[in-house]
Structure 1
Amino acid sequence: MKKILAVTAATAGLALSGLVLPAVATAAPTGAGSGSQAAACSKWIDYTDRGRAHASCSGVDVKVYVKCANGRTYGSEAWRWGYNKAECPRGIGATSMSVQTR
């Protein structure tokens, strides 16, 4: 059974005077029931030269999707065991993320 979890970033990687604000993420499950596999994942968004969404989920395959400031959504290329990430294009910040597990 697949579960999906959406995470929104409060700061969305905004840059002010060359200063990138830290990401503050809150999680809201979009699948049925609490305690799902996706809810047990550690999820975070970082901002270096591009927005990146990461998820670490023990014992399951993981896919990650990141919504970027350009309005497009990008996903990890394949299912990976335990950890995965998705990236925005260089210079574009991330605004939210979602995680899918199986």
Structure 2
Amino acid sequence: MATVALSTAAAATAVATVSLPAASAAEVSAAVTCQTGIDSRGPGGAGRGHTWCTGKRVYVQTTVYCDNGSSSKSAWLWEYSKAECQYGIKAYKVSYATRT
């Protein structure tokens, strides 16, 4: 637990103490910034979403959003993952989640 002391200039003698829970592993890895990209090199020109977290020491899961309204998620993989749209469907957006 972290303890934070807060005070105001008007009441320098009044101090409030707030206890904050320690950050979990999932919260720590949420701050990891990775690179993403989209290409159309899947089956039939299908869109693919890629996430690279090289050297970040995290598992990453990629989600690709497709032009037909569907989305696809990858498995949790170490530092790189890829998700693909269905045959011939283009991708317009990619997002990711990380965990340690």
Alignment TM-score > 0.5, same fold: yes
Alpha-carbon distance, 1:97 to partner = 1.2
What is residue 92 of structure 2 aligned with on the other side?
95
Taking the aligned partners of 1:2 and 1:81, their CA distance within structure 2 comes to 18
1:46 correspondence with 2:39: yes
Does the 8 Å contact 1:2/1:101 carry over to 2?
A: no
TM-score, normalised with respect to structure 1: 0.62
Q: Which runs of 5+ in 1 are unaligned?
A: 4-30
Higher strand share: 1
What is the Cα-based RMSD across aligned positions, in Å? 1.6
Taking the aligned partners of 1:68 and 1:60, their CA distance within structure 2 comes to 26
Larger Rg: 2
Higher relative contact order (CA 8 A, sep 6+): 1
Alpha-carbon distance, 1:2 to partner = 5.3
Higher helix share: 2
Percent identity reads 41
